[in-house]
Amino acid sequence: MEKKVRRLKNTIAENNVLAYNRLMIIANYAPTKEETSKEAVTLLFDQMLNAKRMEADAEVKWKEQRASAMDAEWKFHHTMLACKAYVVSQFGPDSNEVESLGLKKKSEYKKPKRKGQQPPDKTA
């Protein structure tokens, strides 16, 4: 028996469902093992369908929770950007308060340097 660490391929699962439906049509099916009887197979089929329904419901709930968490993260992010802007406007762009929020002080940026044009050759 194979390890059950991965999902079955969709084609295999679909073929199993087709085989199950065709098995239910066979009138004289009488296996010697109880676990392969129509009743046992039907019970397992119903359990599989129920588990798939529960998985789909859980996935929908997970996606809703994920969207809610993402929305909350973005709201918090935009609020923090506004807070940083208020700190800069209240205390100035070169204050220690600005630096405490993880922003650079204005004086920490390098001064822009002119791109010097080379003087034309006077020898020509």
Token look-up 């918090």 returns 76
For residue 9, give the amino acid letter: K
Burial status of residue 98 (CB atoms within 10 A of its CB: 0-12, 13-18, 19 or more): buried
pLDDT digits (tens, 9 = 90+) for 38-48: 999 999 999 99
Token pair for 56: 């789909």
pLDDT digits (tens, 9 = 90+) for 12-66: 999 999 999 999 999 999 999 999 999 999 999 999 999 999 999 999 999 999 9
For residue 12, give the amino acid letter: I
Look up the pTM and report it.
0.62
d(CA 61, CA 55): 10
Q: Where are the domains of the chain?
A: 10-105
